[in-house]
Amino acid sequence: MELCSFLTLDSFITDPLTHDFMRKALFMSSLVAAVCGFLSSYLTLKGWALMGDAVSHSVMPGVVVAYALGLPFSLGAFIFGVGSVALIGFIKQKSRVKEDTVIGLVFTGFFALGIVLVSKIKSNIDLHSILFGSPLGISLSDVKQTIFISLLVVILLSIFRKDLMLYCFDPRHAKTVGINVFFLHYLLLTCLSLAAVVGLQSVGIILVVAMLITPGATAYLLTDKFDNMTVISVLSAIISSLIGIYVSFWFDLETGGSIVLAQTFIFLFAFLFAPRYGIFKLKKLFAGYK
Amino acid sequence: METINYQNFRIEAENICVDYNGKVALYDANLRLKPGQICGLVGMNGAGKTTFFNALTGFVNISKGKIRINGESVRSAQKDQTIAYVPQNEGIDSQFPISVWDVVMMGRYGSMNIFRCPRESDVQAVKDAIERVDLTDHLSTPIGNLSGGQRKRTFLARAIAQRASILLLDEPFSGVDIRTEKLISELFIQFKNEGKTILLSTHDMIHVREFCDLVLLINKTVVAYGETSEVFTPENITTTFGGISPDFLFGPES
Q: How far apart are CA B220 and CA B46, in angstroms?
A: 8
**B92, B130, B132, B83: which is closest to B110 by C-alpha?**
B83
Supply angle C-alpha A158, A164, B19, rounded to 5. 155
Kindly determine whether residue B59 and residue A45, on different chains, have CB atoms separated by under 8 Å. Answer: no
Instruction: Please report the pLDDT score of residue A268 as a whole number.
Output: 97
Q: Which residue in A93, A169, A173 is closest to B21 by CB distance?
A: A93
Interface list for A 84-123 with B (CB within 8 A): 93
Kindly list the residues from chain B whose CB atom is less than 8 angstroms away from the CB atom of residue A226.
Answer: 96-98, 102
Q: What is the mean predicted confidence (pLDDT) over B80-102?
A: 94
For B139, the 3-state DSSP assignment is: coil
In the predicted model, is pLDDT for residue A166 greater than 50? yes
Instruction: Please report the pLDDT score of residue B3 as a whole number.
Output: 37
Instruction: Please report the pLDDT score of residue A120 as a whole number.
Output: 85
Instruction: Please report the pLDDT score of residue A6 as a whole number.
Output: 54
For B58, the 3-state DSSP assignment is: coil
Burial class of residue B227 (count of CB atoms within 10 Å of its CB; 0-12, 13-18, 19+) = exposed
CATH architecture of structural domain B5-250: 3-Layer(aba) Sandwich (3.40)
Give the C-alpha distances (Å, rounded to integers) separating B155 from A267, B91, B132, B149, B162.
Answer: 32, 12, 12, 10, 11
Q: What is the mean pLDDT of chain A?
A: 89
How many CB atoms are located within 10 Å of the residue A156 CB? 17
Q: Which residue in A165, A170, A176 is closest to B83 by CB distance?
A: A176
Burial class of residue B77 (count of CB atoms within 10 Å of its CB; 0-12, 13-18, 19+) = buried
Instruction: Please report the pLDDT score of residue B151 as a whole number.
Output: 95
In the predicted model, is pLDDT for residue B183 greater than 70? yes
CB under 8 Å to A112, separation ≥6 — which residues? none
Question: What ipTM is given for this predicted complex?
Answer: 0.91
In this prediction, residue A68 has a pLDDT band, given cuts at 50, 70 and 90, of confident
In the predicted model, is pLDDT for residue B206 greater than 70? yes
Q: What is the mean pLDDT of chain B?
A: 89
Q: Which residue has the higher pLDDT, B215 or A72?
A: B215
The values of phi and psi at residue A80, to 5°, are -75, -30
Instruction: Please report the pLDDT score of residue A63 as a whole number.
Output: 86
Q: What is the mean predicted confidence (pLDDT) over A38-50?
A: 95
pTM here is 0.90
Q: How far apart are CA A139 and CA A68, in angstroms?
A: 17
**B208, B25, B174, B163: which is closest to B87 by C-alpha?**
B174
Within its chain, how far is the Cα of B155 from the centroid?
Answer: 11
Burial class of residue B251 (count of CB atoms within 10 Å of its CB; 0-12, 13-18, 19+) = exposed
Taking the CA of residue B111 and the nearest CA in chain A, the distance in Å comes to: 8
Interface list for B 140-199 with A (CB within 8 A): 142, 144-145, 158, 162
In this prediction, residue B253 has a pLDDT band, given cuts at 50, 70 and 90, of very low
Instruction: Please report the pLDDT score of residue B250 as a whole number.
Output: 58
Instruction: Please report the pLDDT score of residue B5 as a whole number.
Output: 40
Q: What is the mean predicted confidence (pLDDT) over A226-252?
A: 95
Interface list for B 25-44 with A (CB within 8 A): none
**A221, A265, A204, A215: which is closest to A237 by C-alpha?**
A215
Instruction: Please report the pLDDT score of residue A290 as a whole number.
Output: 47
- Lowest mean pLDDT segment, chosen from A154-163, A272-281, B57-66, B132-141: A272-281
Q: Which residue in A162, A169, A171 is closest to B96 by CB distance?
A: A169
Contact present, A46 and A187 (Cβ < 8 Å): no
Q: H or E element: which one contains B64? A: strand B64-69
Contact present, A215 and A195 (Cβ < 8 Å): no
Instruction: Please report the pLDDT score of residue A130 as a whole number.
Output: 83
Q: Are strands B214-218 and B222-227 parallel, antiparallel or unpaired?
A: antiparallel
Instruction: Please report the pLDDT score of residue B143 as a whole number.
Output: 96
CB under 8 Å to A56, separation ≥6 — which residues? A81, A196, A199, A200, A205, A208, A209, A212
**B62, B70, B58, B68: which is closest to B18 by C-alpha?**
B62
Kindly list the residues from chain B whose CB atom is less than 8 angstroms away from the CB atom of residue A90.
Answer: none
pLDDT in tens, A190-221: 899 899 988 888 888 889 999 999 999 999 99
In this prediction, residue A284 has a pLDDT band, given cuts at 50, 70 and 90, of low
Q: What is the mean predicted confidence (pLDDT) over B100-125?
A: 94
Give the C-alpha distances (Å, rounded to integers) separating A106 from A127, A189, A207, B77, B137.
Answer: 21, 16, 18, 39, 50
Instruction: Please report the pLDDT score of residue A289 as a whole number.
Output: 55
In the predicted model, is pLDDT for residue A232 greater than 60? yes
Contact present, B149 and B176 (Cβ < 8 Å): yes
In this prediction, residue B89 has a pLDDT band, given cuts at 50, 70 and 90, of confident
Q: How far apart are CA B247 and CA B245, in angstroms?
A: 5
- Lowest mean pLDDT segment, chosen from A30-44, A140-154, B67-81, B230-244: B230-244
**B55, B93, B35: which is closest to A47 by C-alpha?**
B93
Looking at this protein, which amino acid is placed at residue B193? Answer: N
Q: Are strands B38-42 and B197-201 parallel, antiparallel or unpaired?
A: parallel
Burial class of residue A119 (count of CB atoms within 10 Å of its CB; 0-12, 13-18, 19+) = exposed
In the predicted model, is pLDDT for residue B216 greater than 90? yes
Q: What is the mean predicted confidence (pLDDT) over A102-107?
A: 96
How many CB atoms are located within 10 Å of the residue A286 CB? 10
For B175, the 3-state DSSP assignment is: coil
In this prediction, residue A33 has a pLDDT band, given cuts at 50, 70 and 90, of very high
In the predicted model, is pLDDT for residue B249 greater than 80? no
Looking at this protein, which amino acid is placed at residue B111? Answer: S
Taking the CA of residue A156 and the nearest CA in chain B, the distance in Å comes to: 11
Torsion of CA A122, A128, A129, A135, to 10 degrees: -160
DSSP character at residue A276: T
Minimal Cα distance from A226: which residue of B?
Answer: B97
Instruction: Please report the pLDDT score of residue A267 as a whole number.
Output: 97
Taking the CA of residue B155 and the nearest CA in chain A, the distance in Å comes to: 10
Instruction: Please report the pLDDT score of residue B243 as a whole number.
Output: 72
